[in-house]
Every structure is written in C-alpha cells, then in structure tokens.
Amino acid sequence: MKPGLTFRDLALIRGRLVLAMTLSLLGLSLVLVSLGLVQAARQSHGQALAQYRDAQRRLSEMRGQEQAIGPRLARYGELQKRGYLSQEDRLSWLEQIRRIQAQRGLSGLRFELAPRQPIDPGDAGIELLSSKMKLELQLLHEEDLLGFLADLHTAASAYTRLRSCRLERLPDGGRSQGATAQLVATCSIDWITVGAGK
C-alpha cells in the first residue's frame, strides 16, 4: 500500500512552502534593493565625475587666466610704483622739474600747468586724466633739452607725453647778463594719470 498524504503532511508541506516563498520574496526584495542601490551609486558616481571634470575645467581656466594676468599684474605694480595710478600730485611734479633744472644747471625756467581734463578712454573703460603744461626753458644747446626731457620722463610720477617743442635762438638782448643760454625751448607736455574709475 502506498502511503497517502495525510492532513498532517500537507500542513507540514504548506508551512515549508510558505517559508520557501517568504524566503524567495525576501531574496528577490534584497536583489531589487541591491540593484536600486547600485543604480543610485552609479548615478552618484556619474555626478561626482561630472563635478570633478567641471572643477578640472575651471581650474584649467583659472590657471590660464593666472598666466594671462601675471604679466599684467607686474606691469600694474610697475605703474603703481611710478605713481601713474595715484592721485595727481602737482606739487611733486613741480619739485621734480625744479630738481632736474638744478641738477642740469639750467636757467630761465617758466611753466604753466592747466587744470586736468579727462581723456577719451575709447573702449578701455579706464578714466585717464591729462594736465597740459606749457614749459619755457633757456638752454645752452639742444642736448640740454633732450637731457631735461629724458630726466623728466624717468623721474615723473605721472606718464609724460611730449606734444610739441619749439627751439629758438635767444636774441642778444634777451640773454641774461652773465648767462650762457643761447636758446629758448617752448614745449607742451601732457601729464597723464589714471583716475579713480567710474
């Protein structure tokens, strides 16, 4: 006789089937959660990689800008050291002119400094200001003028731009007694500074 399935056997099988199905569902749930976590990790990794590439690109751009700014910054420091970027210091300019005149032993110096005026900056967006100076100086010879202008350009605390110079021989009656001046130079010079900005 074949043994038959009893209710007790069926209850046992049913309990084990429920346990097997529960474990299978739990395993499937764990697999699905794991797949979701892997997908989230991949997305997170992709975002982190994109952020890293963006940071690398910005760093590369900044290094390029730093290389471009480096020489300009050095030039800016040089201009600032020379006083081109400071406020207009007319008293200092006049002292420099008098000092150069004394060092070169020149006589008969007269000058007139006009009020400063803005210069059209074009597209630069920088406020440039110019003070025009009319300078009259008695000289022994032409080289005195060239030396004076070179010293002025070197010592000036503003950018000096020579607009014009006219040399004339002094008439015999125009010479000071005991003076050795033979010529008179009349020059127009722009003293250019950078303003505070707009």
CATH of the domain at 112: 3.30.70.60
Looking only at the bridges linking them, the beta strands covering 128-139 and 117-119 are: antiparallel
pLDDT at position 1, please? Answer: 46
Most confident stretch, 66-70, 114-118, 157-161, 185-189: 185-189
Whether residue 5 sits in one domain with residue 50: yes
pLDDT one-digit tens code per residue, 153-182: 888 878 889 999 999 998 875 555 455 788
Whether residue 183 sits in one domain with residue 94: yes
pLDDT at position 30, please? Answer: 92
Rounded to an integer, the average pLDDT of 21-30 is 91
Over pLDDT 70: what percentage of the chain?
87
DSSP annotation string for 126-138: --EEEEEEEEEEE
Between CA 32 and CA 107 the distance in angstroms is 100
Assess contact for 175 and 183: CB atoms under 8 A.
no
* More confident position, 62 or 198: 62
Domain count, the chain: 2
* Structural domain range at position 98: 90-194
Residue 120 has pLDDT above 80, yes or no: no
Assess contact for 147 and 189: CB atoms under 8 A.
no
Which of 72-81, 158-167, 180-189 shows the lowest mean pLDDT across its residues? 72-81
Task: Say which amino acid occupies 12.
Answer: L
- State whether residue 120 is helix, strand or coil: coil
Whether residue 110 sits in one domain with residue 23: no
Mean pLDDT of the chain: 84
Which of 24-28, 146-150, 160-164, 192-196 shows the lowest mean pLDDT across its residues? 192-196
Assess contact for 135 and 152: CB atoms under 8 A.
no
Which of 63-72, 77-86, 108-117 shows the lowest mean pLDDT across its residues? 77-86
Rounded to an integer, the average pLDDT of 81-87 is 68
pLDDT at position 11, please? Answer: 77
pLDDT at position 163, please? Answer: 94
Whether residue 153 sits in one domain with residue 124: yes
